[in-house]
Structure 1
Amino acid sequence: MNALRAAPRAARKARGDLPAPRGTRQRSLLRTAGGQLILWAYAAIAFGPLLLVLIGSLRPNAEILQAPVGLPSSFDLSNYTRAWQTASISTYFINSLTVTCASVALCVSVSAMAAYALSRWKFRGRALLAAFFLSGLMIPAKLGLLPVFYMFQSMGLIDSRIGLVLLYAASGIPFSVFVIMGFMRGLPGELEEAARIDGAHEGRLFVSVVLPLMRPALAVATVFQFAPTWNDFFYPLVLLRSGDKYTVPVGLTRFFGEFAADRGTLFAGLVIALVPLAVVFALATKQIVAGLTAGMSR
């Protein structure tokens, strides 16, 4: 009789249907709660300064000077008006948006085509060409500033936004090719073979079949190219001369000097500079997670 009672229990234990012991469940809950507490604490530390800047941008300057930290007594949007019109943030913002979007589009387009060819086509020298692309990850781009400066000077690209676009696109290609190639190697080739059997040429195959499959990797490459390009201070400082061509990071240095006493306008300018990054991350978060975890799920 005892053997008959123990048989179903042994079968359930083998299948893993039996609940975990109470002590094990409690330890698991404590670990989960501890991990969530650490993550919430990190989020509070990371987003605390951003929240203070956002609240400060909605407060009058006199109120900020009296109490630097506090909630606004009334929402004041005039800080944003002064930052956008009087402080020339609009000019810096449009310059940054133009340079960043153009360089990201050029970088991701070239990287997608190169990664597709290197991961799908078989030709002599493919491994050497892939190593050439990936070698750019081992060399900091800023070490080549002097040759780049002289090359741009000879080409008339100093104080030119086109020069910045080309420089940012070229510097982002190695990482983008690396990400997209790793993603492409995990994709099955049956859909491409079916498209070729149906008569699709390589251009139509790439646009209609491959690019939709690449979407998570393209999102990762876009975000990882957009953020450093938007935040870059070094190249615009060295290569630009005219104030009307400055990007947001360089323009904010002039902005800080002119509006150091006007804290509300200063905070509003910082919020405006952060908006594109927040929008890009919010729109691409799902695709970023899918792209970064694609290799682990196969």
Structure 2
Amino acid sequence: MATTHSLSKVLPVAPSRVFVHLTLIGYLLLALLPILLVFMNSFKSRDAIFDDPLAWPTAETFSLIGYTKVLGRSDVLMYFGNSFIVTMASLFFILLFGSMAAWGLSEYRFRGNRWLKFFFAFGIMVPIRLGTVSILQLMVELNLVNTLTALVLVYVAQGLPLAIMILSEFMGQVPSELKDAARCDGIDEFRIFFQVVVPLIRPAIATVAVFTMVPIWNDLWFPLILAPSDKTQTITLGIQQFVGQYATDWNAVLASLSLAIVPVVTLYALFSRQLIRGITAGAVK
């Protein structure tokens, strides 16, 4: 036992594992450094930002003027509220309709089943922005321009294909014995779906939630086109008010970006355990 334990310490690490870990660490630094720079410079004065953007805030350079400007404007809080409403409403409908459609495609066999799956896969490959002109014309005809409803409808249509494809694969792994036993007990299909299937695919639901939440929260394209009014602007669009043609209030911009990152990081932290379980479950499938 002692010899085996000592040999395990002497055995060298495979070069491939070292390369993989170094690559992952490099990617982690590449992803986190810009976020760290935004946070660091949001607590510095304007002169300190341009003098040395890579330096940490000190007693001489520390300043909260950016946060004072941002939080002092009541419309910025409204922009945060609009983003939160649009993101949560879109996630709710994407997860609800996506899981129900995935249940239908994975559980029931009918003519056109494969064509429907191909149709949703095609929706993942084609960017929804290609139909911006048609979407804008439709929203004008429905009188939904400058409403949060227009954004929710677009984001639901954007997120459904990916949600259906991911959830249908996970639902196919649910043991049929569980569903058959529930049917033998007289449980209807809706209760089987919500009480048996949905609890078993929570990791997949968390994965879909994270993958669809971040693009919705960060999107600037559709808020700029469909909801540019002052009362319907999202936070990504509202930040643009601090960016001028000839001068930019970098303190306010960096403070706004820092505040906008917090909800996404918080929601990711809440879903992270389920997200990792969902990714690893898909890896060993």
Fold conserved between structures, TM > 0.5:
yes
Q: 2: CA distance between counterparts of 1:263 and 1:189?
A: 57
Matched, 1:70 2:55: yes
Number of equivalences: 280
Opposite residue 197 of structure 1, the aligned amino acid is C
Q: Which residue of 2 aligns with 1:203?
A: 190
Quote the residue 1:221 is aligned against: 208
Q: Identical aligned pairs, as a percentage?
A: 35
When normalised by structure 2's length, the TM-score is 0.87
1:143-187 Cα shifts (integer Å, max 9, x gaps): 112221111111101111101101110121111100001111122
Aligned partner of 1:26 in structure 2 is: 12
On the 8 A contact 2:106/2:171 being kept in 1, the answer is yes
Q: Relative to structure 1, is the Cα distance of residues 151 and 182 closer, same or farther in structure 2, using a 3 angstrom cutoff? A: same
Q: Counterpart of 1:91?
A: 78
The CA distance in 1 between the partners of 2:20 and 2:119, in whole Å, is 42
Counterpart Cα distance in 2 of 1:68 and 1:297:
44
CA distance in 1 between counterparts of 2:48 and 2:283 reads 52
Corresponding residue SS for 2:259: helix
Residues 260, 266 of structure 1: 8 Å contact kept: no
Q: Does 1:279 align with 2:263?
A: no
Residue aligned with 2:53, SS: coil
Cα distance between partner residues in 1 of 2:246 and 2:175: 56
CA distance in 2, matches of 1:20, 1:266: 53
Single out whichever of 65-74 and 182-191 deviates more from structure 2. 65-74
Shift of the 269–295 alpha-carbon distance from structure 1 to 2, 3 Å rule, reads closer
- Could you say which residue in structure 1 is the equivalent of 2:178? 191
Instruction: Out of 71-80 and 229-238, give the one that drifted further.
Output: 71-80
The reply on whether 1:107 has 2:97 as its aligned counterpart is no
- 2:243 is matched with 256
Moved more, 205-214 or 134-143: 134-143
CA 1:129–1:177 in structure 2 vs 1: closer, same or farther (change >3 Å)? same
- Structure 1's 265 and 115: CA in aligned 2 closer, same or farther, altered over 3 A? same
1:41 aligns with 2:26: yes
3-state DSSP of counterpart to 1:69: coil
Distance in 2 (alpha carbons) for counterparts of 1:233 and 1:20: 53
Aligned ranges for residues 55-66 of structure 1 at < 5 Å? 55-66=40-51
Give how far 1:214 is off.
Answer: 1.4
User: Is the 2:46–2:250 contact (alpha carbons within 8 Å) kept by the matching residues of 1?
Assistant: yes
SS in 2 for 1:124: coil
Would the aligned equivalents of 1:92 and 1:246 in 2 still touch at CA under 8 Å?
yes
Partner of 2:39: 54
Displacement of 1:204: 1.4
Q: Do residues 161 (structure 1) and 148 (structure 2) align?
A: yes
- CA gap 1:199/1:208 in 2 versus in 1, 3 angstroms: same
Verify: 1:297 aligned to 2:284, yes or no. Answer: yes
Separation of aligned partners in 1, 2:103 and 2:150: 27
Question: Residues 69 and 135 from structure 1, CA distance in 2 versus in 1: closer, same or farther, beyond 3 angstroms?
Answer: closer
Structure 2 residue 123 is the aligned partner of structure 1 residue 136: yes
**Alignment check: 8 A CA contact 1:183 1:214 kept:** yes
In our comparison, the structure showing a higher alpha carbon Rg is 1
- The answer on whether the counterparts of 1:87 and 1:255 sit within 8 Å (CA) in structure 2 is no
Pair 1:258–1:276, CA change in 2 (3 A): farther
Q: Which runs of 5+ in 1 are unaligned?
A: 1-15
- Which stretch shifts more, 174-183 or 61-70? 61-70
Q: What is the CA deviation profile of residues 70-123 of structure 1, one whole-angstrom value per residue up to 9, with x for unaligned ones?
A: 222246445323212328321221111111111111111100000011101233
Q: Partner letter of residue 50 of structure 1? A: I
How far apart, in 1, do the equivalents of 2:253 and 2:144 lie?
32
1:66 deviates by 4.8
Residues 1:261 and 1:117: Cα distance change in structure 2 (over 3 Å) = closer
